[in-house]
Amino acid sequence: MDADDLPIGRVLTRREVLALMGATGALLLLGSKTDASGKVTNSCVVRPASTQGPYYVDERLDRSDIRSDPSDHTVRAGALLALALNVSTIAKGRCSPLDGAVVDIWQCDAEGVYSDAKDPRYFDTTGKKFLRGYQVTGKDGVAKFVTIYPGWYPQRTPHIHYKIRSPESARSPYEFVGQMYFDEGLSDRIYASPPYAGRGKRTVSNLTDRIYSADGGRESMLAVKPANKGHGATFDVALDLG
């Protein structure tokens, strides 16, 4: 199945967007289409929030290429993935690029291992910092990363965590956490090659992943395309900051 055939979220009309903006106490994650002036032209797509999980560490690593470990400069092996998050804000019926947002991503390696974490059953990588990093969006609202296609581990389907938060100097702090997921067929094809292949068949699919099912994973799919020497993907999100 091609990821383009999967739903990317619940499509909202402009009237619904404006109604949602009037709600209080909620931070909405949206993707939207705009015209040249920045106005919402036809729809916005609501993305569900998700659990941060146990492996988030604020390493304060300002870097675009997150594949290496700063301590020894070794690079985690895996299929190359160029990832861009287009971050916007919705206010008064307009979608505009969100300048100055801190965008963190973190993920496991091809073996299903996270850095700077301790799992009594599987690994202890305390002090390592591979596959973690953040970028600050510019005036275009874009944060770009170079990473690898994530592996899997027994409890989870393949995914990448992300957090969008305000800079420390912000007068009105904000934070949103989500997860990005992958097409099953693509994962199967990538996992058939090294360094993934030696682990055998994965034990959890999207539909059997508890978090994917509970947090609306079908609405947080990445449309991954072939790119130079690997794959590329873009994820559009917008925060309703009121």
Q: Pairing mode, if any, of strands 230-240 and 80-91?
A: parallel
Specify the pLDDT at position 183: 97
In the chain (242 residues long), the average pLDDT of successive 10-residue segments reads 39 43 37 44 59 96 97 95 92 82 98 95 94 97 97 95 94 94 97 93 94 94 92 90 76
- Per-residue pLDDT at 237: 87
Residue from 74, 68, 53 nearest 163 by CA: 53
* Residues in CB range of 11: below 8 A, 6 or more apart: 43, 44, 45
In degrees rounded to 5, what are phi and psi of residue 219? -95, 5
Q: Is 69 helix (H, G, I), strand (E, B) or coil?
A: coil
Mean pLDDT for the chain?
84
- Length of the chain as a residue count: 242
The reported pLDDT for the residue numbered 46 is 52
For residues 183 and 171, give the distance between their C-alpha atoms in angstroms, rounded to a whole number. 39
In what side-by-side order are the strands of the sheet with 102-106? 132-136, 102-106, 159-165, 175-181
Give the pLDDT of residue 204: 96
**Residues 124, 55: contact at Cβ < 8 Å?**
no
The whole-number pLDDT of residue 45 equals 54
The whole-number pLDDT of residue 145 equals: 98
Q: In whole angstroms, what is the distance from residue 64 CA to residue 87 CA?
A: 16
Is the Cβ–Cβ distance between 154 and 204 less than 8 Å?
Answer: yes
Which residue's structure tokens are 């090659």?
Answer: 193
Q: What percentage of the chain carries pLDDT values higher than 90? A: 65
Looking at residue 199, what DSSP letter applies?
A: G
Domains and CATH numbers, the chain: 3-240 (2.60.130.10)
If one counts every other C-beta atom within 10 angstroms of the C-beta of residue 215, the result is 17
Q: State how far the Cα of 92 lies from the Cα of 242, in Å rounded to an integer.
A: 9
What is the spatial distance between Cα 90 and Cα 88, in angstroms, rounded to a whole number? 7
Contact present, 124 and 118 (Cβ < 8 Å): yes
Triad 166, 170, 176: Cα angle to 5°: 20
Helices (H) and strands (E) in the chain, counts: 3, 14
Given this model, what pLDDT does residue 194 score?
A: 95
* Chain centroid, CA 31 distance in Å: 13
Contact partners, residue 5, CB within 8 Å, separation at least 6: none
Tokens of 212: 């994917």
